[in-house]
Amino acid sequence: MTSCSITRRTVLQATFLTAAASLGLADPKRGYAQGSAPMRIRISFNEQSMTATLEDNPSTRDFESMLPLEKLTIDNYANNEKISYLPRKLTEEGSGPFGNERPGDLCYYAPWGNLAFFYAGYRWSRGLIRLGRIDGSFDPLLVRGEFPLSIELVS
């Protein structure tokens, strides 16, 4: 016969996990409460602005914790993206290959600690984490040059 002992700690853990699951928080990859709207940001530079809808992953949640961001700089890089360096590096937890790459993607490039705003085709490479996608037109990214950049949450 086996002994079955239930401790107060076991009961509390089970209660907590049941409550967290009912709120949609038990899955560590899921940070938004079940049924809540995705987070959106406003990206402003060169007297223009765009909005983007953010994905739900640990890197994006770390990015959100830094907002609002002001006094950043956005500049051209290669022939398909603009980049901006963040004040600190983001977590890479849960990162890995992704598909469906397309212009309008907002990514984080972990090795350099910068945001990448893609306005032309690209392919996933090691260290690239998609944070979200620009809503609608990304025409402001097509203007060449270096500009002051601000990023804020949209309520």
Structure tokens at 94: 């849960």
Q: Give the pLDDT of residue 18.
A: 42
Q: Which range marks the domain in which residue 19 is found?
A: 1-34
Q: Domain check: are 110 and 131 in the same one? A: yes
Q: 118: domain CATH number?
A: 2.40.100.20
Q: Domain check: are 15 and 61 in the same one? A: no
Could you tell me what percent of the chain has a pLDDT over 90? Answer: 74
> Using one digit for the tens of pLDDT, what is the confidence trace for 79-111?
999 999 999 999 999 899 999 999 999 999 999
- What is d(CA 49, CA 37) in angstroms, rounded to the nearest whole number? 21
- In 3D, which of 96, 84, 86 has the Cα closest to residue 126? 96
- What is d(CA 71, CA 97) in angstroms, rounded to the nearest whole number? 31
Residues in the chain: 155
Q: Domain check: are 89 and 62 in the same one? A: yes
Over range 118-130, report the average pLDDT.
Answer: 97
Confidence of residue 37 (pLDDT cuts 50, 70, 90): confident
Q: Domain check: are 11 and 60 in the same one? A: no
- Per the structure, how many domains does the chain have? 2
In the predicted model, is pLDDT for residue 46 greater than 80? yes
In the predicted model, is pLDDT for residue 145 greater than 80? yes
- What is d(CA 74, CA 118) in angstroms, rounded to the nearest whole number? 12
Check: pTM over 0.75? Answer yes or no: yes
Q: Domain check: are 59 and 1 in the same one? A: no
Q: Domain check: are 52 and 6 in the same one? A: no
Reported for 123-128, long-range contacts at CB under 8 A and 24+ positions apart, including other chains, are 124/97, 124/98, 124/99, 127/92, 127/95
